[in-house]
Amino acid sequence: DLSDENQQLTYFLLNDGVLDAEQARFKKYYVKPTNNETDSLTLWYVLRDVVVEGEYEQEDLNQTFTSLFDVDFDVQQSAVIESYKASNGVVHVLSSLNVSAAERIKPIMIEAEYPYPDSINIFTQRFFRWLPNNLLDFTRARPYASSGYDIYLSGHRMNPGYIDFIIDNVNTVAYEMSWVAVHEVYDGNGMPEDTVGYTQSLRKMMWGAPDTLTLERELEIDSSYISANIIPSPIDIPVEQSLGTLTIDTLNHFDSYYIREQGTFRSKNCIRLRVQGSGNNTPIALDYLKMVPILE
């Protein structure tokens, strides 16, 4: 929280010309439905990404800083126009600052064991454990998994089953999509069968238009992105598989959290992705999803 008076921070502000240039340079990565929303969101990120923990006086500024939001940037003492004390730190106004797009627009890793809580479409539960917050999920401890766990949905009795993920802090850019999905199919004796395959797909979801009578909205598949079915990796051989390119043109309200009881959206820079099985009661496996931005 940048307004927390209990922490000491260094704020780097930009003079009008530099601020306008930075906002124009990054505007294409924060596109919202209206120009005013786009400008406001871009300005927020341009300013917040250069706030640093601790107080740094002008003589300490010839160095590379890492902001509170994990953005690296260089500051030269010669670029300081003025400095002054604030209630929770120090402010430096700069005549120049260059933050690379790669520092602001970073790859996103989505660990499968943390799906959106209300999204698991199942009737029965297998391979589950209880997390400290009492969220029931379907994770397995696996030495080959990126964080020590992956997720495996089996016996769900749905046609098809699916798991949804809300991905926050995305940008309006094209992403190279990939995943690691290690399949485990068992024979009648409970032994793994490496040769038994199944397929699953990745889909982008969005909230549809309200019903004319009830005004309820339902999740729909966004036809702009449906991956080809990918055959998951064999047991103990985690292979990262390409899923193609997902282009996000607008941070649309319909990709945001929908509060069903209120019939309203809580706008965030997020999308909803669905990993879906290929048929009736087919298992779903996932270690992680990866989104790598394609930057010019």
Residue 135 pLDDT > 60, yes or no?
A: no
For residue 177, pLDDT beyond 80:
yes
| pLDDT score recorded for residue 122 | 38
Instruction: Supply the pLDDT for residue 172.
Output: 95
d(CA 157, CA 175): 33
Examine the pLDDT at 245 and tell me if it is beyond 80.
yes
Say yes or no to pLDDT of 53 above 80: yes
> Average pLDDT over the chain, rounded to whole?
79
pLDDT tier, 262 (very low <50, low <70, confident <90, very high otherwise): very low
pLDDT mean over 155-172: 80
Task: Give the C-alpha distances (Å, rounded to integers) separating 294 from 72, 170, 229, 248.
Answer: 19, 13, 23, 11
pLDDT band for position 162 (50/70/90)? confident
Identify the band that residue 133 occupies on the pLDDT scale cut at 50, 70 and 90.
very low
Residue 178, CA distances (Å) to 23, 173, 273, 281 in order = 30, 16, 12, 24
Which range, of 4-8, 94-98, 127-131, averages the lowest pLDDT? Answer: 127-131
Distance CA 290, CA 180 (A): 9
Confidence of residue 238 (pLDDT cuts 50, 70, 90): confident
Q: What mean pLDDT is predicted for residues 202-209?
A: 79
pLDDT value at 95 more than 50: yes
- Model-level pTM? 0.82
